[in-house]
Amino acid sequence: MEPKALPGPASERMSKQRSRDTGPELLLRSALHRRGLRFFVHRRPLPDVRREADMVFPRLRVAIFVDGCFWHGCPEHGTKPRRNAEYWETKIARNRARDADTDARLRAAGWTPVRIWEHEPPDQAADEIEQLIRDRARRLAESPTSDRRAQRAE
């Protein structure tokens, strides 16, 4: 899937690292809401690292990223444009390196990064996320070091 035409000059939209509120992201958000999950959107999981996640569960330290197939080089749909092939290859490789770096920083800080491809069926992705969230919440509640505030359901 190649980037959709968005309003604004090409240079402006090309410079955006991550587009917000895309269709797949909104569908996933509502699928999660339907499952009773509450979260923050477009937040930095780590305040001192300038990387935003699409959905953030701060207490459980889970950060969800909905990755565009084109921009993040999906193995199924990561088609390479013929025009300016080298430019796009470099650009996408850089995005992927940045994704890996973001994940590493999050893990180092005790977070679980979750990456969802925009092509994944939202309900399937939501099921996986729900399972992870419920599991994290249960473990946190069972942890002897957790305080009362941390035991509230998120």
**Exactly one of 76, 86, 142, 147 binds Zn ion (CB under 5 A); which one?**
76
CA dist., res. 139 & res. 151, Å (int): 10
| Interacting span for Zn ion (CB under 5 A) from 10-18, 36-44, 112-120, 139-147 | 112-120
* Neighbour order of strands in the sheet with 112-117: 40-43, 53-57, 62-67, 112-117
Q: Which residue, 24 or 113, has its beta carbon nearer to Zn ion? A: 24
Q: Which residue, 76 or 142, has its beta carbon nearer to Zn ion? A: 76
CA dist., res. 32 & res. 137, Å (int): 15
User: What is the DSSP secondary-structure string of 65-95?
Assistant: EEE-TTTTT-TTT----STTHHHHHHHHHHH
Here's the x/- map for Zn ion, 55-74, by CB under 5 A: it reads as --------------x----x
Q: Which residue, 76 or 147, has its beta carbon nearer to Zn ion? A: 76
Paired tokens of 5? 């035409």
Q: Which residue, 73 or 113, has its beta carbon nearer to Zn ion? A: 73
Q: Which residues bind Zn ion (CB under 5 A)?
A: 69, 74, 76-77, 117, 119
